[in-house]
A and B are shown apart, each in its own frame.
Chain A
């Protein structure tokens, strides 16, 4: 049956670098948990440590209450979907899916029923007698998924399972995976470098960089309340603007930009300057006589539901801002002077070390 996965101070070292650097987190029973990060961040290494293909150099991994550090990979009762599917090329679809059941010595009369049930769940029952080389990428993906869930594993691990599919199929498959996972209630650890996929599919996301978790939160919190500049920059698009902090007589802080624009903010502690992270859609573009930071349009891209502008500020920095078609009557032109306004309560502020500094 499905169980939680607890990762305690886990370390993986290679001769010259630490791939997983003292990571701790708990994946709840039945949760869809995603490890997201750029390549080389240690996400796949961590997943393979859970699977038993990488040794654990420090710390413990628990399945439920049981430490599994020294359990061999083939005794961990895990279902895994690989990036390249790893379908056994010399076996039919049916035999691929039945493989894990046979290894578990499931009685013969039950195997057929369970295989067909699993194939039905991924909607490829009709392909059961095909050989892998007669299947498309999407179909192979479904076989891999059926093979992993048919054994009713304690944990389901997925290593960038959709990265080899085209964009349309990717969206279709991720919906199937999400539904299946919820219906079966399998604890799932999912690795991807695609942020949109992670946001769409996960209960919680751990964003990793250089072997460390930078933030572990729900998709909405990750997007709306990034804990550091790395997460703010990695998820979605963010403009980073430097600002001076000034305090009034009541010690209430404000951020001040070049050109003299000021916004009151709420800070955790006293700081001289901050980095303000503003997403393109958080800007309101005003005419030159309006409120906001002055700038000039350098480039625009009209994308149907919105227009995206590159705007050069007085200090030479270029920022991106969006303006929604439904809100405007005209598209601004290159060279137009504008002012950029935003709601200071909605944006994120970071200190000089790039860590969150807002309340």
Chain B
């Protein structure tokens, strides 16, 4: 009897609050991340007769129709990364080191274009440079034929403008935290300015630049909306995944599974190269004396301001285009002269369900993200153990899974017993939570690392139990980090297309799905009105983010 009692006591002791949270999180992540992922990996190795087979991989690597998309994707990613670096690095140098005008506005425009809905760029550049685009038509009137925007060039244009902000934000952060003395030392040792930049400044920011480049590479590898809209014949991997899966609806998902495995393999490989190749050389800098901001002569100052402002405005242009076109009168698919609110009338009449869906699903997802994000980041930061490191790894894994792939994984896993979720709001919410939780976890963790353990110990020691201490002290102190992370999670959730497009059903379609289908249907006015709703919500959320973080928050 004694023995039984003490075992029960031990078990009870073990199942304290934090262990329950830990096991619950692990179970949920297994159900909604590991299980779907393994289902798809498993499927990719099974042929129609249910036997082990490499036939889908063989098909992929032997048929040009398939393997060409891998090359296409890699070409797009590499070129985008190079171009984004070529724009982002000099721009970061100019804004951090020279006294150009309007730095704050340039920064804000660039952040907004990064956080804008992912497919708005493609839509807007089609509006401007497409077959019937404003600029195309303008030039046609004076007899100039614009090169076609569709295909490889268009994808590169849109990706570069959309993603160079990653490089810009990462690098300008690093540039302004190089201590002045480092460059002064180089100058003092007799280096010319160019030599100094090449031998000191660039190598020191290299790891940060690499981190930014990885973000560009991964985002361009994962993005689905842009190549789908503007790529036309130029097929990249995520588009192929979507088409394969959609054409196989009702059949098996094996080929799509094999493609998904290839994509995840590529992005994991790139991430690992960055992690083990570059991050070893990470120089931790705390600038006691931030670098000098050089005063330019008026002429140079105007020139550099104009160049920087031009880049920022071009990057921001899609959002202006979207908002403007949403107010233009339409006649079916064609824009006509004059302004009106009819596009908005149409969406409120026809598509209000989508709007309600986006906001309902996103709010539910964010609530779950906030609660679990807070608890999990606490486990990972403050209660280090093997299981909690595993939790950390699982939480961050969705970084390497493109939305379309996660969508397929979940669809395949949850359209059959034991858990049937396909077509329900739950499957969309689950996908959002899994994909967007890392933002909240990262910013909560960053804040948690700054909270000294003695703060909690002081509370415990004054007679408050560890669990109550978490809610009375730690959670309160984490709040700014959680909130700013949650806003980023929120922005990316409302704009999410790639997993939504896989998982939606008639009843659960969201705004981004509707924009996509409206564009495909050439109903540009309503698409613009919907996109404007997202854009305005995004801008308002960013302003809230700025207010919460007192302007010191970083969106990357």
Contacts and interface: CB of A to CB of B under 8 A. Distances in A.
B115 to A, nearest CB: 29
A82 interface: yes
Contacts, number: 61
Interface in A77-117: 77-80, 82-84, 86-90, 99-100, 103-104
Interface stretch (B89-97, B218-226, B455-463): B455-463
A312 interface: no
A77 B458 CA distance: 12
Chain B interface extent, by class: 10 to 19
B454 A83 contact: yes
A74 B476 contact: no
Interface of B is mostly: helix
A151 B457 contact: no
Contacts of B477: 89-90
Contacts of A268: none
Which of B458, B459, B464 has the largest count of A CB atoms less than 10 A from its CB? B458
Interface in B462-516: 462-466, 469, 473, 476-477
A89 B451 CA distance: 10
A51 B459 CA distance: 12
B463 to A, nearest CB: 4
Nearest to A105: B463
A179 B462 CA distance: 23
Contact of B458 (A52, A75, A86, A104): A86
A86 B457 contact: yes
A99 B457 contact: no
B4 interface: no
B454 A74 contact: no
Given A88-B473, A90-B476, A90-B477, A82 B463 contact: no
B458 A80 contact: yes
Chain A, interface SS category = loop
Interface string A133-157: 0000000000010010001000000
Contacts of B455: 86, 88-89
Contacts of A83: 454
B462 A51 contact: no
B49 interface: no
A79 B460 CA distance: 10
Specify which of B455, B460, B466, B476 lies most central, judged by the most chain A CB atoms within 10 Å of its CB: B460
Interface string B74-88: 000000000000000
A82 B455 CA distance: 9
Given A89-B477, A90-B476, A75 B463 contact: yes
B452 A84 contact: yes
A99 B462 contact: yes
A78 B462 CA distance: 7
A247 interface: no
A73 interface: yes
Nearest to A53: B457
Interface of A: 51-53, 72-80, 82-84, 86-90, 99-100, 103-104, 144, 147, 151
Given A77-B463, A79-B461, A100-B462, 4 more contacts: A73-B460, A86-B454, A89-B455, A147-B462
